Homo-oligomer: A and B are copies of this chain.
Amino acid sequence: MADTARTRLQQAAVDLFGERGFDSTTAAEIAARAGVTERTFFRHFADKREVLFDGQAVLLEALLAAIDDIPPDAPPLGTLFRAFRSVCPLLDANRPFSEPRQAVISATPALQERELAKTAALAAALAQALRARGVPDDRAAFAAQIGMAVFAHVTVDWLEKSEPGLTDRLDRAEQDLKTLL
């Protein structure tokens, strides 16, 4: 990962949030550890929380790309699960960053709020992708919401305990879901 001001800010943020907590860490302190000014922090991130949620954009792109490679006759939820499985390597690679990050989020209501918003946005984007494949509106929204809820649940559990792996957890979740419906 390029050593840009942006990435240094993200790393400094997880570190400091982990040490002192989100609320007891000022944006100025994060900036100082990253070797830049507070003003620069806010040029890269819209607000103090956002510094932890940069990855969502990358994840979304990867998911959309994955969906593109799935034959359009696959069922909606099946499509989503295949897409989820295809981004597991990405998440695996990011674990060293994601794990402490999730610990901070779990300890901070304000960050959980932001995470919910990001998840909802992701679900909306997936629904849109399904619609583009011909899935009717309601079904697309419904499948996307269910799929994202399961995916979010699985990844959070996995970040707390690395075994079993992500793909195994996804397999099991998909099975559980099928028996439940």
Interfacial residues, chain A to chain B (CB-CB below 8 A):
109, 112-114, 116-117, 120, 138-139, 142, 145-146, 149, 176, 180-181
Contact = CB atoms under 8 A, between A and B. Distances in A.
A120 B130 CA distance: 24
Copies in the complex: 2
B149 A145 contact: yes
Which of the listed residues A112, A113, A180 has the most CB atoms from chain B within 10 Å of its own CB? A113
B139 A180 contact: yes
A79 B114 CA distance: 31
A28 to B, nearest CB: 22
Contacts of A176: 138
A109 to B, nearest CB: 8
A47 to B, nearest CB: 10
Contacts of A149: 145
B116 A112 contact: no
